[in-house]
Structure 1
Amino acid sequence: MPRNPITARALAVQTLRQIDQRRGFSNRILAEHFERHPDLERRERGLTTTLVYGVLRHRGRLDALIDAAAARPKALSARAREIARVAVFELRELQHPPHAAISQALGLATALDPSGGLARPLHAILAAIDREGAAFDARLATGKPLDVLANRWSIPRWLAGRWLAHLGPDLALARARALAEPPAVELRVDLSRTTAEDVAAALREADPKAFVEQLPDQPQALRVRGGGELVRHPLHERGLFSIQALGAQRAALALAPCPEEHVLDACAGMGTKSLQLAELMRRRGRLVAADASEVRLGEHAGLRRRGELDGPEFTFTTVVADLAAPEPQPGVDDTTYDAVLLDAPCTGLGNLARHPELRATVQFDDIAACADLQRRLLDRCRARVKPGGRLVYAVCSLEPEEGPRLVRATCDAGGFTLEHEETWTPEAHHTDGFYLARLRPA
């Protein structure tokens, strides 16, 4: 007999357990689970995604609610707590009918333990939250700002304390609220081959329920809600748009590479910014994409095809290189460059909405470790800039040690001046937190 198809809630629990155990990126682990269940209906895939990301964004709050309602919170197993988190998120955030959320959770619990030993305490917890959830949430939202940030808005206490010191309570709470919201999908349109209006029209035609917004201050950007899995759209396959957050788009724009220039993408990763640089260069000139990971650079083969980067006037080269290393890196250090983009590895703490698993995986000591790596990368990249050239440094973090404090220390050391900097914040721009600075040789 064929197996019963997996439900969205069961798949969400499996995915959340894997994210917790592997401490991996949520989007990659969720994609792996979807690949194992290719017949899962679009509606179920959408609900799974909502549950996974919602639980990760609200995990601290969900645990506080569960602990307030449970007779013996520490007695809950990790799997039982994950089932409870999913159900409580449905009850409190999605406002799903209680009978549906609770019965589905109890079904999962019973499948794990037919004796009912798991389902009985779970039922008591969920029934209490169904009755008193609003009062529980109201208590979590009052008290000391540190407690509110941690318990109501699921910000790690160590990070909440930093925000209160740097931002003050009002701005810290505004940032926490913004990072609790599901982010829109943000796109970058290849204006060298199409228009934002044409892409927006195609997206609306493919899904009339999709909300597609053009942004007046970023003519190549679109913001989309409810458009489905856009990586499967034919225009994405052809490279006419790429999925890229608004702040991240700004780094290549600030570098402003020109046709015929020699450009280095110093930490190219999977190549989203490499393709943007090629677009801005009008596919004329030389672009070197370097990264320490051969696996990440392997994604550039598809990028080359999507972006039509094999033209007669454009040379696109990928190089496996550790640009933080003191020794010369063949294929990169053979010359200097008109423009260098350093989108440096960072804590990613500006991405707590889009990558909410970072709330649990990033620790205080990671800031200093990332800042040390960023300093070494910045020092090495400065040496690769031609006289009269420019360097853009960027991170998807708003922590001062990874952004303005590091850049100012670099400029104080001599040789480069700060020409321009930008900060994008979730509370002000409704997008990921992002910092960039453009430096020029003095």
Structure 2
Amino acid sequence: MSAAKPPNPRRVAVRALRDIEQRRGFSNRILSDQLERHVELARRDRGLITTLVYGVLRHQARLDALIDAAADKPGKLKGELRTILRVAAYELVELDRPPAIAGAEAVKVAKRIDPRGRLRGLITAIVAGVARDAPARAAAWEAGDPLTALRERWSLPAWLAARWLAALGPERALARARVLAEAPTLDLRIDLGRTTRDEVRARLEAEHPGLRFVELPAAAGDQPQAVRVQGAGDLFYGPLFESGLISIQSLGSQQAVRALDPRPGERIIDACAGMGTKTAQIAELMQRQGRLVAMDASAERLAELEAARERVDLDAEGLALEIVHADLAEDPLELDIELEPGSVDGLLLDAPCTGLGNLARHPELRWTAEPGDVPACAALQATLLRRCADWVRPGGRLVYAVCSLEPEEGPQVVADFVAERGEFRVVKEEAWTPEGARSDGFWLARLERG
């Protein structure tokens, strides 16, 4: 029996983009689901699909502006046809695909909705128009109004473009938007308790041709566990990842754990553990000795942590790991473990947030986030911080972190908390801006209880 014929990679990309738009879901999960359905896809095609999906999401408003300018009746370009044209336009302006090839590939993908080929002429004409007009439109954006450039050239939603322009000024707002429109590098964490940096670098180079190592930003300081790479392909299916010797984890996330400074033998809580990436790093820095509680409101994410615990060596003899499904915003809070007030040495609260510092890595947030999300997240964050603080012992440490640079979600939450709870003091604050660190944007504070 012959092997199944691989699907057209552009069709898979269109399907993923439609799914992301209709479900308003996380792009990484929906893309992963699509790729897992087509194991027969070659690595090159998987890479193209990934590039197209994330690229279209990062540049969507720009692509729409170019498409609309090239169309006689742009209002009629809806649904799957609009998505097909976005993919073709992205290939033109970002991947330097010749118009004839981009147009022909778009016509192929459109056969599902246009089996008789009636849209061939329309698609070909629009793709040619985009190719013709793109240089002039780029020059106009560069020379024109900053707000229009933020909204169209750099594909920010109107409310966020106006917000950043007012808060940062034109130069910084445009610099931030420019970095967040780039494909991000991939940050890795090495388990130095089980391997070495030299071994990991050598194996990455051997197992992933085309990979290159990228220098860490100066803001990262000394992070011996961290490595930044580009062009790595699909590391999730490589032996280094499957053996737990490396984990995929942003520098900001790693920095938050290092700010907590967990030590062997301590009692530590990872209060919003998610899938457990930070939990594993905490365990590594504790040398897998002590009590570690991983909490999250999502049973689905905790199931992924449970499934990964053997891979990342969370069952070590000296480590008492407890995985707790709990919504810390509930009142009264019910836990299925004993956790007395003032009983832990350190607590990490990587709080739910708007994620507006992560628009490069999670570009769908450009089109799903709303202005009301900022105050809503700030209210939730304040509730979680008050709840978590009670577990920290006198002399203990609490790290609060968010992947957002909006003041209401970071400095204001902590300032209000410290004003309310005078026994806590801020001993460290740290902010990474995309334009300064060429990394995801995040903010953290380390507090100590007197």
Interval of TM-score (by shorter of Structure 1 and Structure 2): over 0.9
Instruction: Say which of 344, 348, 369 aligns to 1:341.
Output: 348
Which stretches in structure 1 are left out of the alignment for 5+ residues? none
* SS of corresponding position for 2:94: helix
Instruction: Say which of 240, 243, 247 aligns to 1:238.
Output: 243
Say whether the 8 Å CA contact 1:268–1:291 is kept in structure 2. yes
* SS of corresponding position for 1:339: strand
Matched with 1:8 is: 9
Letter in 2 for 1:5: P
Matched with 2:448 is: 440
**1:94-105 alignment runs, 5 A limit:** 94-105=95-106
Say whether the 8 Å CA contact 2:102–2:127 is kept in structure 1. no
> In structure 2, how many angstroms separate the alpha carbons of the residues matched to 1:321 and 1:31?
27
Matched with 1:387 is: 394
**1:108-119 alignment runs, 5 A limit:** 108-119=109-120
Matched with 1:90 is: 91
Matched with 1:359 is: 366
Query: What is the CA-CA distance between 1:399 and the residue it aligns to?
Result: 0.8
Say whether the 8 Å CA contact 2:340–2:391 is kept in structure 1. no
Encode CA deviations 1:164-215: one digit per residue, 9 max, x unaligned. 1111110100000000110011001112222222211110011232102464
> In structure 2, how many angstroms separate the alpha carbons of the residues matched to 1:5 and 1:196?
37
Matched with 1:272 is: 277
The yes-or-no answer on 1:128 pairing with 2:129 is: yes
Encode CA deviations 1:46-94: one digit per residue, 9 max, x unaligned. 0000000000000010011111111000011211110000000000111
Matched with 1:222 is: 227
> In structure 2, how many angstroms separate the alpha carbons of the residues matched to 1:56 and 1:420?
35
> In structure 2, how many angstroms separate the alpha carbons of the residues matched to 1:256 and 1:3?
51
The Cα RMSD (Å) is 1.5
Query: What is the CA-CA distance between 1:396 and the residue it aligns to?
Result: 0.8
Matched with 1:376 is: 383
Matched with 1:425 is: 433
Letter in 2 for 1:259: P
Matched with 2:158 is: 157
Matched with 1:146 is: 147
TM-score normalised to structure 2 length: 0.95
Query: What is the CA-CA distance between 1:327 and the residue it aligns to?
Result: 1.7
Percent identical pairs in the alignment equals: 54
Letter in 2 for 1:327: P
TM-score normalised to structure 1 length: 0.97
Which stretches in structure 2 are left out of the alignment for 5+ residues? none
Which moves more between the two structures, 135-144 or 339-348?
Answer: 135-144
Say whether the 8 Å CA contact 1:204–1:212 is kept in structure 2. no
Encode CA deviations 1:365-387: one digit per residue, 9 max, x unaligned. 01111111100000101111101
Matched with 2:288 is: 283
Which moves more between the two structures, 174-183 or 299-308?
Answer: 299-308
Letter in 2 for 1:53: Y
* Cα distance change, pair 109–221 in 1 and its aligned pair in 2 (3 A): same
**1:293-372 alignment runs, 5 A limit:** 293-330=298-335, 331=337, 333-335=339-341, 336-372=343-379
> In structure 2, how many angstroms separate the alpha carbons of the residues matched to 1:2 and 1:73?
41
**1:62-77 alignment runs, 5 A limit:** 62-77=63-78
Which moves more between the two structures, 397-406 or 188-197?
Answer: 188-197
**Between Structure 1 and Structure 2, how many residues are aligned?**
442
